[in-house]
Amino acid sequence: MVENRPFLAFLTHLVLIAGVAVIVFPVYIAVVAATHDATAMSSGMMPLWPGAHLWDNLMLTLTHQTPGLPPFWVMAWNSLWMAVIITAGKIAISILSAFAIVYFKFPFRNLAFWLIFITLMLPVEVRIIPTYSVVANLGMLNSYLGLTVPLIASATATFLFRQFFMTIPDELMEAARVDGAGPMKFFRDILLPLSRTNIAALCVILFIFGWMQYLWPMLVTTDRNYYTLMMGVKRMAAVADADPQWNLIMASVVLAMLPPILIVIFMQRLFVKGLVETEK
């Protein structure tokens, strides 16, 4: 800080406390709702202080089954799998293609790069129906493959690895070649270990990305055994118009949003690195 101005310091904290309050408030309300029983919620006025029923509500959420939806743990399991497969798949295919693009000269190399680049411009939201029909024709509806593979192509991860490989000294590769290492040995024993932090940072970002998917799973799953949490909580909330069990809905919402939030909080350094680097 350049100068000492007590009033400004006071203002700074005031702004931040107000900002944090605004940011935290909706989630606080959701958590409070998850701690009350049905009568407190339906009395007309939403309570502002936590009640004593959090445990009951969580247990009910985990055991009780909403009509039309699979059990909570099935959806949680699907969300987890979806996020894990997308993360692993994106990282695997991106690091391999970045390796090819940086360490080899081959015809159509530029074309390959541009094809990958184009995926940035074609978010799934703008080509919903044709992508759906491709997946349907391949018989991939209602499967983990259909849920994940169409989302796995990743220009940003490829760029990140390409950028990183370009910063690795050429001498490393030349030395490896002189010592008789083939390309795959070089990749496995030198590039992969060097990319460890980048991979970890990407894992954090991509897991969150995979967990948050909503539109795509909604389109490709009609079999409720493949529903994900994001779809599940949305449907619970939609049913709530008729018979609001807010305490249970909010308990599920809180559970559903917890994993990625915990990741951001406990892996903040990797999260920030991943976010800043993938967007460059």
Q: Could you tell me the smallest distance in angstroms from the CB atom of residue 54 to other proteins?
A: 17
Does position 264 bind other proteins by CB under 8 A? yes
Cβ 57 vs Cβ 248: under 8 Å = yes
Q: In angstroms, what is the minimal distance from the CB of 200 to other proteins? A: 16
Q: What is the dihedral of CA 146, 234, 76, 69, to 10 degrees?
A: -80
Binding to other proteins, residues 1-40 (CB under 8 A): 1-3, 5, 8-9, 12-13, 15-16, 19-20, 22-27, 29-30, 33
| Distance, CA of 216 to CA of 222 (rounded, Å) | 12
The residue assigned the tokens 């989302």 is 151
Taking residues 85 to 114 in sequence order and writing x for each that binds other proteins by CB under 8 A, - otherwise, the string is -------xxx-xx-xxxxxxxx--xx-xx-
Would you say 67 or 242 has its CB closer to other proteins? Answer: 242
Instruction: Give the 3-state DSSP-derived string for 133-160, with helices as H, strands as E and coil as C.
Output: HHHHHCCCCCCHHHHHHHHCCCHHHHHH
Binding flag, residue 175, other proteins (CB under 8 A)? no
Does 166 bind other proteins (CB under 8 A)? Our answer is yes
84 is an interface residue for other proteins by CB under 8 A: no
Q: How many CB atoms lie within 10 A of CB 75?
A: 25
Residue from 55, 59, 63, 177 touching other proteins (CB under 8 A): that is 177
* Neighbouring C-beta atoms of residue 236, cutoff 10 Å: 21
Residue 123 contacts other proteins per CB under 8 A: yes
Closest contact distance (angstroms) between CB of 231 and other proteins is: 8
What is the closest distance, in whole angstroms, from the C-beta atom of residue 26 to other proteins in the complex? 4
Residue 72 as a binder of other proteins (CB under 8 A): the answer is no
- Give the one residue of 230, 248, 251, 270 binding other proteins; rule: CB under 8 A: 230
The CB-of-7 to other proteins minimum distance in angstroms stands at: 10
User: Which residue in 62, 150, 224, 239 binds other proteins (CB under 8 A)?
Assistant: 150
Residue 154: C-alpha distances to residues 40, 129, 138 (Å): 47, 20, 21
Q: Footprint of other proteins on residues 182-211 (CB under 8 A)?
A: 182-184, 186, 208, 211
Q: Does position 74 bind other proteins by CB under 8 A?
A: no
Question: d(Cα 52, Cα 126) in Å, to the nearest integer?
Answer: 46
Cβ(112)–Cβ(101) below 8 Å = yes
What single string gives the DSSP state of each residue in 83-95?
A: HHHHHHHHHHHHH
